[in-house]
Amino acid sequence: MPIPIVVAVWAALTLVLDQWASLWQQRGLGLLTWALLLALLRVESRATRVQVGVVVVYASVVEYVFAGYLGAYVYRLENVPAFVPPGHGLVYLAALAIGRSAWAHRSAWLVPATLSACGLWAVWGLTLSPQKDLLGAFWFGCLLVFSRYGKSPLVYAGAFLIVSYLEIIGTSLGTWTWQPHDPTGLVPVGNPPSGIAGGYAWFDAAALSLTPMLLQWWDARRTPALQEVA
């Protein structure tokens, strides 16, 4: 089964089950999510595994700072659920899978359609939404810039599809709720923000920048060890 479908089904199931989960049951969902992520990564290249690892670390720091400390958005149990860090890895892996698929490469309309949909959502958030969404418009701007100048426009399109899907489900079920304003109190925020996939463009940029350096560092450490064994 294609990775994006597996991720979409598992994420929706996890969010539905989390509605009634206790803290320990939530941790159980986290263990299962880690197991799924590791199973999917077994058949991926070393570079992809490192990219996903970078995103998990980066996204986890963001979660614990902006949800756990600053309260920009609040989870149901007022914690960062155990399934969230590996969940970010699954979301990024799904976006990668969409971006490298033959279907995406044949679909010249995919990136323009994604930007149009996100742009309309951002305009709605600024004009008609009951909870104004300036932050979403900013992230839409990030998505525009990365789609024009970044290395992975099809990955960003995939991220928009999967992230928007999860944000709509998660906020609808009450798994998490975005506060009406950012931590400064100056920037209005939608629930969910319209251009939130622009945040994953930053994750992808971090992964693409750090992965070659991490691989080079690891290979440099391994070479002397292998020489000693020989």
Provide DSSP, 60-125.
HHHHIIIIIIS-SEEETTSS--TTHHHHHHHHHHHHHHHHHSHHHHH-TTHHHHHHHHHHHHHHHH
**pLDDT for the residue 14:** 98
As for how many domains the chain has, the answer is 1
**pLDDT for the residue 225:** 52
**pLDDT for the residue 229:** 47
**Pairwise CA distance, residues 143 & 118, whole Å:** 9
Enclosing domain of residue 16: 3-229
Question: pLDDT tens-digit profile of 170-210?
Answer: 999 999 999 999 999 999 999 999 988 888 888 888 888 88
**Pairwise CA distance, residues 150 & 111, whole Å:** 13
Q: How many helices (H) and strands (E) does the chain have?
A: 9, 2
What is the b/e burial string over 70-81, where b = at least 16 CB atoms within 10 angstroms of the residue's CB? eebbebbeeebb
Q: 201, exposed or middle or buried, with CB in 10 Å at 0-12, 13-18, 19+?
A: buried
Length of the chain: 230
**Pairwise CA distance, residues 83 & 95, whole Å:** 18
Q: Which residue has the tokens 């319209």?
A: 194
Question: pLDDT tens-digit profile of 157-171?
Answer: 999 999 999 999 999
**Pairwise CA distance, residues 33 & 27, whole Å:** 10
**Pairwise CA distance, residues 91 & 192, whole Å:** 17
Rounded CA Rg of the chain: 18
In the three-class reduction of DSSP (H, G, I as helix; E, B as strand; rest coil), residue 207 is classed as helix
Which residue ranges in the chain fall short of pLDDT 70?
1, 222-230
What percent of the chain has a predicted confidence (pLDDT) above 90? 80
Phi/psi of residue 74, nearest 5 degrees: -125, 130
